[in-house]
């Protein structure tokens, strides 16, 4: 009837455990290789962005009005800034600080470490790069603030135990 069989060789071959392990091993090597190269590209991009931030960084005295963690779409940003934000970033929650710089009230983005350490309702000397709050000078870091909070909690617990 048929001169040639159209059945692929892979389907006619009986699979053993060793064949399955070989295929799984090849897939794992390919995935790890792809992740390695993607990670290298991401670090390269991050280094370029950090160099840009460092080159445009300037000092300013700001008064911190409010800080919150929210989506970019819910924050009052200029249209020019909102248009440059990638689609995936619009869905993520980010850290924002509302501050008064001179006569203007501005919304600044920042890292989690800076966000946790920035005090509310205080004047601070900050390093700003565009709309990004890079760092602040002369105040405690986030780690120091956490340590102090832990110590205060321990002291309060000891006071409660001693009061009983």
Q: What is the CATH number of the domain that holds 138?
A: 2.40.50
What total of structural domains would you count in the chain? 2
Q: pLDDT band for 53, please (50, 70, 90 cuts).
A: confident
- Residue 47 is part of which domain span? 14-56
Q: Are residues 77 and 91 in the same domain?
A: yes
Given this model, what pLDDT does residue 11 score? 57
Q: What CA–CA distances, in Å, run from 67 to 9, 37, 56, 102, 117?
A: 63, 36, 23, 18, 11
- Is 153 part of a structural domain of the chain? no
CA angle 110, 105, 51 (to 5 degrees): 35
Q: Are residues 63 and 136 in the same domain?
A: yes
Q: Are residues 62 and 139 in the same domain?
A: yes
Q: What percent of the chain has pLDDT over 70?
A: 89
Question: pLDDT (tens digit, 9 = 90+) per residue, 78-97?
Answer: 788 888 888 888 889 999 99
């Amino acid at each position: 009837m048929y001169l040639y069989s159209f059945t692929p060789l892979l389907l006619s071959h009986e699979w053993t455990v060793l064949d399955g392990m070989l295929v799984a091993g090849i897939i794992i090597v390919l995935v790890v290789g792809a992740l390695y190269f993607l990670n290298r590209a991401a670090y390269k991009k991050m280094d370029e962005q950090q160099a840009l931030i460092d080159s445009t960084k300037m000092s300013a005295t700001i008064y911190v009005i409010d800080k919150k963690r929210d989506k970019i779409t819910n924050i009052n940003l200029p249209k020019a800034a909102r248009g440059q934000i990638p689609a995936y970033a619009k869905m993520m929650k980010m850290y924002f600080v509302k501050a008064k710089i001179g006569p203007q009230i501005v919304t600044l983005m920042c890292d989690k470490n800076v966000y946790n350490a920035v005090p509310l309702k205080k004047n601070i000397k900050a390093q700003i790069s565009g709309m990004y709050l890079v760092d602040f000078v002369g105040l405690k870091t986030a780690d120091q603030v956490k340590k102090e909070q832990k110590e205060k909690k321990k002291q309060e617990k000891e006071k409660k135990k001693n009061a009983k």
